[in-house]
Structure 1
Amino acid sequence: MIRIEQENDWLLLSHPDHAALAGEFARHWKNDFFAPPKPFTHILDATARHDDSWNDRDALPLLTHEMNPSAFSEELVGTYDAFEEIDLHDYLGVRGQATEVAALRDPYSAILISMHTVNLLTVQADLSTLNDEDLAFHKAFIDGQINRQEELKARLMLQDDIAPYLTDECLLAGFKFLQACDSFSLHVGVAFSKPSKLQHAHPRRDGSETEIEFIPKGDNHYVLSPYPLDEPTVVFKVPYRRVPKTATSSLEAFQAAYAAAPIELVTVTVSQS
């Protein structure tokens, strides 16, 4: 779950809808200066569906100890350091399921999703709040994900159409693209209010690489520079549920309010200036 705090309400965006927004962004990533990475169909699958495993979890959202929605917020953009608020075993179970669900339909996508998961839980994570038992469980999970990536690569090496794209260079490019689109969706999803950058530097058609600046302009309007999309202005419709803060007095009341809340489409505009 991803959340925006307002004066009297929470706007809540599910993980799968966040990933779908990342996928819509990915579809527009092509112009005279930027090309989509290859193999794009598989990379798009990973980008648009990397959070499919959260469907059941998000249908019954949880509350933190402070009785706030347990969700990704503006304060967490760029880091994963709220492990004290979650059940680590449950959380890693959902993350592991993301790899396995993808492996059934698209093993290449599953490799990228697993790479994304490992990066989130190592490079981007603050593990200082974990005890020794949880650290050992975390390490076993990461080792398992890396082994799973190798198993999926070995299987795909037998497929002539996909084997050329199993190089470290191609997989890294796909992974970086997924994370750029993911970071765009997270920034938009929490209504990030400060200038930032999408994850990683990205190749231009001339062979150079560049980071892409994310510049909030207010009223859900964002500028990207340099601009990687195919139209001067792209409009996205983002589906939130609005839950009043008074509904978080108990878990039962919160879950009932969330289930009853209608979808509220928020218009997000992205442009080159």
Structure 2
Amino acid sequence: MFVPTARLRAAQALLPIDHAARNSTSHWSYPRRMLKTQHAGKLWMVTQPDHGALAGFLAAHWGNEAFARPGHYAPVVDAERLRAQAVFAIAQHDNHWWEWEANPDLSADDGFPLGLGETSKNQQAGFDRWRLGLKRFAAEPMVNLLMSSHAYWFYAARVLAQSDPAFTSPLFWKGAPDKLYPGTIEAPLAFMEHLQALQSEWTAQLRADVATAAWVEPANLAPLTRLLQLCDGLSLALCSSLMPAKTGVSVGMGADAFELHNVPRRSWSDRGTITATPVGPRLIALDPYPFDIDPLPVTMLARVVTLPCEKPANFHSWWHAHERESVEFQFVSRK
């Protein structure tokens, strides 16, 4: 499922060279941001840990007659144990943001944490955060294997000439992101190789135990890797305006129609597309419907500010004085 290291280097040579891009003073990096969305005259701010917890909630409710529950895609010794590991990994997939979210960089424009478009040009800082997050649960190799896949495939879409479309982030469902070019590709390529080395260690640990050896077989690992991406995308569709809308400009907060591709149903060889359609205020119909409860009530925690507003004079005092609000959504089946 992961591209062998030798092929990563070969993939670099396959990328077309755009000399204008090479000479540009700007360069791509992993954005340092809180999820900030302007919607209905308000600024909605969702932390990455809260977004991750919402994704974990969706994973915990994934599965019904049409869709297998996590951990039940292929035979294993204890499917419910594997399911718990997958749900945990999905809930923690962005835990490398913990320290930044506790003491975030602030926007010069509004005095709140940096958001979309306010990015750091320090790629190394992003890699270091990932490395920190992948050390938190040293005794959980399956959790680390799945979380590291989140980073691997995010960068693969930019680095590899032909990244596997089955693992393309839902954020790129309408088209692949711009490729990186020589001069910007080397650092993420090296980071991907580092991830592969870690993944080899975690895979070996899991294979050495008869109770977990089957977890890393493609029939189990591939759909769980994809499920992490899908729950991440569904959560982001509620927490932000990052998910591209079918038509027009994305407004976020569950108000956009979009598609999820390569969704595993009963097994990895059985995949399809889920269409998400807003059918009412904070009411989103999914077709086909993947959850065990219909409708599924979903709570998003956000700090909400009415615009326009003054910059906080002292951010931490303001932040901790303003409690998160519970914003209620529902996913429903298409009738």
Q: TM-score range by the shorter chain?
A: 0.7 to 0.9
Range with greater deviation from structure 2 (31-40 or 262-271) = 31-40
Aligned length: 260
1:239 aligns to 2:301 (yes or no): yes
| Aligned residue type for 2:70 | P
Q: Higher helix share goes to which structure?
A: 1
CA offset at residue 51 of structure 1?
1.7
Q: How does 1:74-89 map onto structure 2 within 5 Å?
A: 84-89=119-124
**Deviation of residue 271 (structure 1)?**
0.6
Task: Name the CA shift for 1:29/1:151 in 2 (closer, same or farther; >3 Å).
Answer: same
* Secondary structure of residue in 2 paired with 1:122: helix
Q: Would you say 1:121 and 2:155 are equivalent positions?
A: yes
Could you report, residue by residue, the CA deviation over 1:50-69 in whole angstroms, capped at 9, with x for unpaired residues? 12232221122323465574
| Contact 2:55 2:232 (8 Å CA) reproduced | yes
Does the 8 Å contact 1:212/1:226 carry over to 2? yes
Q: Does 1:217 align with 2:279?
A: yes
C-alpha deviation, 1:31, in angstroms = 1.2
User: What's 2:290 paired with?
Assistant: 228
- Asked whether the equivalents of residues 260 and 273 of structure 2 are also in contact (C-alpha less than 8 Å), the reply is yes
Residue in 1 that maps onto 2:320: 259
Partners of 1:120 and 1:83 in 2: CA distance: 19
SS at match of 1:201: strand
Structure 2 unaligned blocks of 5 or more: 1-33, 72-81, 158-168, 170-176, 241-252
Secondary structure, in 3 states, of the residue corresponding to 1:187? helix
1:58 counterpart residue number: 101
Q: In 2 relative to 1, CA 245–111 (structure 1 residues): closer, same or farther, beyond 3 Å?
A: same
Q: CA RMSD in A?
A: 2.7
Asked if 1 retains the 8 angstrom alpha-carbon contact of 2:206 and 2:215, the reply is no
In the alignment, the residues of structure 2 paired with residue 235 and residue 84 of structure 1 have an alpha-carbon distance, to the nearest angstrom, of: 33
- The alpha-carbon deviation at position 28 of structure 1 amounts to 1.2
Provide the residue aligned with 2:264 in structure 1. Answer: 202
Q: Supply the distance in 2 between the matched residues of 1:203 and 1:260 (Cα, whole angstroms).
A: 44
Comparing 256-265 and 59-68, the one that deviates more? 59-68
Measured at CA, do residues 213 and 112 of structure 1 come closer, stay the same or move farther in structure 2, by a change above 3 Å? same
Equivalents in 1 of 2:212, 2:255: separation in Å? 40
Encode CA deviations 1:82-112: one digit per residue, 9 max, x unaligned. 695453222222122222223x141101101
- Going from structure 1 to structure 2, the CA distance change for 1:205 and 1:162 (only over 3 Å counts) comes to closer
Q: How does 1:1-273 map to 2 (within 5 A)?
A: 1-6=34-39, 9-38=42-71, 39-64=82-107, 66-67=109-110, 69-72=113-116, 84-102=119-137, 104-123=138-157, 126=178, 128=180, 132=183, 135-190=185-240, 191-204=253-266, 208-243=270-305, 249=311, 253-273=314-334
| 185-194 vs 61-70, which moves further | 61-70
TM-score when normalising by structure 2? 0.69
Do the aligned partners of 1:220 and 1:267 also contact (CA within 8 Å) in 2?
yes
Percent identical: 23
Q: TM-score, normalised by structure 1?
A: 0.84
How much does 1:41 deviate? 1.5
Q: 2:3: which partner in 1?
A: none
